[in-house]
Structure formats: structure tokens, C-alpha cells
Homo-oligomer: A and B are copies of this chain.
Amino acid sequence: MDSFPLLAKGNKAVNQDRLWDDLMALGNITEPGMPYTRRSFSEMFLKGRDYLRHAFEKAGMTTNVDENGNLIGRLEGTDPDAGVLMIGSHSDTVPSGGRFDGVAGVVAGLEVVRALYDAGVTPRHTIEIVDCLAEEMSEFGLSCVGSRGMTGHLQPAMLDYTGPKDESLRSAITRMGGDPDVISQETRDDIKGYLELHIEQGRVLESEELDVGIVTTIVGITRIEIIVTGLPDHAGTTPMHLRKDALSGAIEVVAGIRDKAKELSDAGEGYFVATTGEFYLEPNAANVVPSQVKLVIDTRAQTRELMETFLTFVREEMPALAMAQGVEVSETKILSDSLHTECDEGLGNLLLEAANELGLTSKKMTSGAGHDAVFFSRIAPTAMVFVPCRGGRSHCPEEWSEPAQLAAGTALLFETLRKMDAR
């Protein structure tokens, strides 16, 4: 059997225009009047999958939808015992999202196989390109449905979650071509490696003018709800010194959280961010002193130590910031708390080696967003490639990566797959 074609700088096997054409074609498969929308479980989503299935088959792959509703394109390898090397991401979008988040990774996988096909090369391992079902938060209140399923993390109770028109997730997965009755906590043991390309959704690569990012860690995410409570006094008749203004306490809490996050971020002990993204004022009337503010804090950390340091601040120091303004923190609740994910060090080094061979500038970095890779990391060596996106914008129609940036990332996938296949 032939080996992979040896490629390096300029990787000619990956065809930038073909890759781009697919992305633009899929962008056109959108809910009319609200580009770019292809929500999981929708008819439009299935139209996008029809496009992908056809393209997978044209590239020499067989296709099927697994029990979890994932669309899989499969290219059999020469060694049936070698197992599967997988490239995955997702083709669903948020409402009025972009043309790159998710689908760029699926199309990159497709292009890698097409490049192999064009070169007449059959790898030793079987290659699977996976369009994971419903990576974005779905209308069933669950994200990463397909990658959870394939890795044994789709709990039976989750199948009873309901969405629009009271449909169960079980029924919706069936509509997508899955078979929820055979979903189990057993996981596939044939996956020898998982790679995922994704736009960065941030400005780090752009601001440092780098070609690609090699993800070593995916952050843990902890969400915290804080309620600050004062008294709803008349805004005209209550002198400043008699007020218990919940907003006045809440702004000190927000400032404290911001400043603590900056301190932890600057400490050089790993990636850390905290965001007060939700802010609800009551009664929100011009002539009433605010009586209550509810905050939702989204916190992301590369290590548990960083997260614990922050949570200690929230528990022990934050309430005093509100009390200094004469109001109370009446509730502090952890809404959700997930651990960070370490990517496979060996795969990360292979990616770095390949990037260097291709002449791509790169850095190892932390992903501040969750991805299907989080779940695959629990059952197989996993790594991710980030490509830059303009202004860091994502989940919006302005989301943009240059064709050459996407092609560079795809070439990196190709080269790394070659190295993995040779191991």
C-alpha cells in the first residue's frame, strides 16, 4: 500500500477553493431572512446534512447516521485492526449565527479525505468524519447531544427532555435518523484519536498574528448566580444617606469580580476569565431605588486551582463589597460547574511538529469555549486546531475567517493525520 503523500509548506493536497465553496454553499442553506441559521433538529439542518452526505459519498466515503444522530462519513483503512482516526465538529448553528462555527471543522475533515481520495491514497487506519448532532445549546436544553451520545454521556433521563411542541429529545433524535433505544453508556473503543478544527471565537491569534492555535486545555466552566437585595424606596423622597440601593451594592460586586479575574488572569498561572453577562434589575423603574439585582457570572479556568481561588473570593470577600454599600448578598448559587479538559499531550506535539513543517506560525493555547472535543477526550486521545477569525466575532452573521486561514488549518489536520496514521 502507498503511504500518505508527503506534503509540507503549501500543502497542495488541500484545495482552498473547494473547501471555501462548500462553506459558502452550506451558508446558503439557512432559514430564510435570518442568515445564518441551521438549528439542530430542524428541516434546514437536515438539508445541510443532505449536502454533507452527498459530498462525503462523492469523496469515496460510506455514510450513516449512528444511534445518537451523528452523521458519519467513513473511509475504510487498509488495516482493519488499526482502529479509527476521527475528525469531527458540528453543522448546527445558533440562531442568526455564522458560517464557520462548527461547520468549518466538518468541511475541513471532508477536505482531508478528498485530498486523500484525489491522491489515490488509502490510509492504514479507518478515517471517520463526524458531524456531531446539536453541539450548540438546543431547544431541548442540552448541548453536545451527539458527542455525549457517542462517548457514553447521554444519560437516559436526558432523552426525556422536551423541546418545542413538547417533543421529547428521544423523538427528535429519531427524526434525525438516530435510534435512541440502543444508546447506552457503553462507548466505542475503536477510536484511536480525535481531531477537531474550529474557529477560535476570540482575538488571541489575530492580535498575535498567528496562523493556528494548538489547544492544550479546554476550560472548566462554572456559572454563579448572585442576588443583591436592598429596599425599593421612592427615588425622589429618599435622601442618599437613607437608601439601601441594590444597584449600588451590585456594581461593587461586578467591579470586584472583574478585578479579581484580571488579577488571576495576569498571575501567569493559566487562562482565567470571568464575565458578568446577565444583569437583572428590579423594579427597573426610573423613580424607584433598585431593590434587587440578579447577576449571572460565567467563569472559565484552565486549572481547578484557579477556579477554587476565584470561588473562595466569591464566598469570602465578595459579600462584604455589597455590605459596604448597606445592602445584602441574599443568595450565591452555583448554577453549573464543569471541570477543565486536558487535551492529549502527544497529539499536541504532533500538531506542533506538523505546523512547523508546514511553516505555520502557532501557539499552544487554552480554549475558552466548550467543544465536542470535551466529550471525545474522555474516550480517546484528543486535540484541537484553532484558526483565526476576524475580530474574534462568532455566533453572529459577521463571523469570518479567510479562505487561506481555513486552508492552513485544514492542511495542518492533513499533516497530523498522516503522522498519526504512521504511528
Which residues, 232 to 257 on A, are CB-close (under 8 Å) to B?
A: 232-242, 245, 247-248, 251-252, 254-255
Would you call A322 an interface residue if the criterion is a C-beta within 8 Å of the partner chain's C-beta atoms?
no
Which residues, 262 to 300 on A, are CB-close (under 8 Å) to B?
A: 262, 265-266, 271-273, 275-281, 284-290, 296, 298, 300
Q: How far is the CA of A327 from the CA of B40 in the complex (A)?
A: 35
Q: How far is the CA of A367 from the CA of B236 in the complex (A)?
A: 8
| B392–A234 touching, CB < 8 Å | yes
Contacts of A394 in B (CB 8 A): 234, 237
Nearest CB on B from A271, distance (A):
7
| A204–B392 touching, CB < 8 Å | no
Nearest CB on B from A121, distance (A):
35
> In the complex, which residue of chain B has the Cβ closest to the Cβ of A297?
B286
Which residues, 339 to 367 on A, are CB-close (under 8 Å) to B?
A: 367
Would you call A201 an interface residue if the criterion is a C-beta within 8 Å of the partner chain's C-beta atoms?
yes
Q: How far is the CA of A239 from the CA of B267 in the complex (A)?
A: 13
Would you call A200 an interface residue if the criterion is a C-beta within 8 Å of the partner chain's C-beta atoms?
yes
| A277–B273 touching, CB < 8 Å | no
The verdict on A290 contacting B273 (CB below 8 Å), with A235-B298, A237-B368 known, is no
> In the complex, which residue of chain B has the Cβ closest to the Cβ of A272?
B240
> In the complex, which residue of chain B has the Cβ closest to the Cβ of A236?
B368
Would you call A202 an interface residue if the criterion is a C-beta within 8 Å of the partner chain's C-beta atoms?
yes
Nearest CB on B from A237, distance (A):
3
Would you call A203 an interface residue if the criterion is a C-beta within 8 Å of the partner chain's C-beta atoms?
yes
Would you call A7 an interface residue if the criterion is a C-beta within 8 Å of the partner chain's C-beta atoms?
no
Q: How many copies altogether?
A: 2
Q: How far is the CA of A280 from the CA of B282 in the complex (A)?
A: 11
The verdict on A284 contacting B290 (CB below 8 Å), with A248-B258, A251-B255, A367-B237 known, is no
| A271–B239 touching, CB < 8 Å | yes
> In the complex, which residue of chain B has the Cβ closest to the Cβ of A287?
B298
Interface residue tally for chain A (C-beta within 8 Å)? 63
Would you call A418 an interface residue if the criterion is a C-beta within 8 Å of the partner chain's C-beta atoms?
no
Would you call A104 an interface residue if the criterion is a C-beta within 8 Å of the partner chain's C-beta atoms?
no
Contact of A242 among B207, B238, B241, B296 (CB under 8 A): B207
Contacts of A419 in B (CB 8 A): none
Q: How far is the CA of A55 from the CA of B237 in the complex (A)?
A: 31
Would you call A219 an interface residue if the criterion is a C-beta within 8 Å of the partner chain's C-beta atoms?
yes
Contact of A262 among B232, B240, B261 (CB under 8 A): B240
Would you call A395 an interface residue if the criterion is a C-beta within 8 Å of the partner chain's C-beta atoms?
yes
Contacts of A390 in B (CB 8 A): none
| B277–A290 touching, CB < 8 Å | yes
Would you call A221 an interface residue if the criterion is a C-beta within 8 Å of the partner chain's C-beta atoms?
yes
| A233–B202 touching, CB < 8 Å | yes
| B235–A275 touching, CB < 8 Å | yes
Q: How far is the CA of A204 from the CA of B285 in the complex (A)?
A: 22
Would you call A369 an interface residue if the criterion is a C-beta within 8 Å of the partner chain's C-beta atoms?
yes
Contacts of A247 in B (CB 8 A): 254, 276, 279
| B287–A277 touching, CB < 8 Å | yes
Greatest chain B CB density within 10 A among A237, A241, A271, A290 is at: A237
Would you call A49 an interface residue if the criterion is a C-beta within 8 Å of the partner chain's C-beta atoms?
no
> In the complex, which residue of chain B has the Cβ closest to the Cβ of A258?
B248
Would you call A192 an interface residue if the criterion is a C-beta within 8 Å of the partner chain's C-beta atoms?
no
| B278–A234 touching, CB < 8 Å | no
The verdict on A278 contacting B273 (CB below 8 Å), with A236-B368, A240-B265, A258-B248 known, is no
The verdict on A392 contacting B277 (CB below 8 Å), with A202-B233, A286-B296 known, is no
> In the complex, which residue of chain B has the Cβ closest to the Cβ of A219?
B236
Residue ranges of A at the interface with B (Cβ–Cβ < 8 Å): 200-204, 207, 219, 221, 223, 231-242, 245, 247-248, 251-252, 254-255, 258, 261-262, 265-266, 271-273, 275-281, 284-290, 296, 298, 300, 367-370, 391-396
Provide 7 A-B residue pairs closer than 8 Å at the C-beta atoms, listed in order of the A residue: A202-B234, A202-B239, A223-B286, A251-B254, A277-B286, A277-B287, A278-B285
